């Protein structure tokens, strides 16, 4: 797994419009009707993170959940982060 260049990151973000680059991570905030729905999403994300062995930073603020992704093994953002971001979007949509 290789660290992506700034140009590659920008190109890949075009396919994930809700995600942004912030420092050394890509991140998105998901909004829910209430805390319980937010925590159900976090639980599903946790199961997926364990399945693929890639764990996002997760911040919960009542009905909002922010996921931040980077790949520690490469010291930056990799394709693995974009794959997980797409998976998180699918969990949210599903």
Q: What are phi and psi of 9, to 5 degrees?
A: -60, -45
Q: Is the pTM of this model over 0.85?
A: yes
**Closest of 73, 43, 68 to residue 57, by C-alpha:** 68
pLDDT in tens, 18-74: 999 999 999 999 999 999 999 999 999 999 999 999 999 999 999 999 999 999 999
Residue 85: pLDDT over 90: yes
Helix runs in 1-94, H state only: 6-13, 35-52, 79-93
Q: Domains along the chain?
A: 6-93 (3.30.1360.20)
Coil, helix or strand at residue 21? strand
| Stretch (H or E) spanning 67 | strand 64-69
């Amino acid at each position: 797994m290789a660290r992506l260049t700034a140009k590659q990151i920008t190109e890949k973000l075009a396919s994930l419009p809700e995600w942004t680059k912030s420092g050394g991570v890509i991140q998105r905030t998901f909004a829910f009707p209430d805390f319980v729905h937010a925590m159900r999403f976090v639980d599903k994300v946790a199961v997926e993170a364990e399945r693929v062995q890639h764990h996002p930073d997760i911040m919960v603020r009542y009905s909002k959940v922010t996921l931040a992704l980077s790949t520690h093994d490469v010291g930056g953002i990799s394709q693995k982060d974009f794959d997980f971001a797409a998976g998180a979007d699918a969990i949210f949509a599903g």
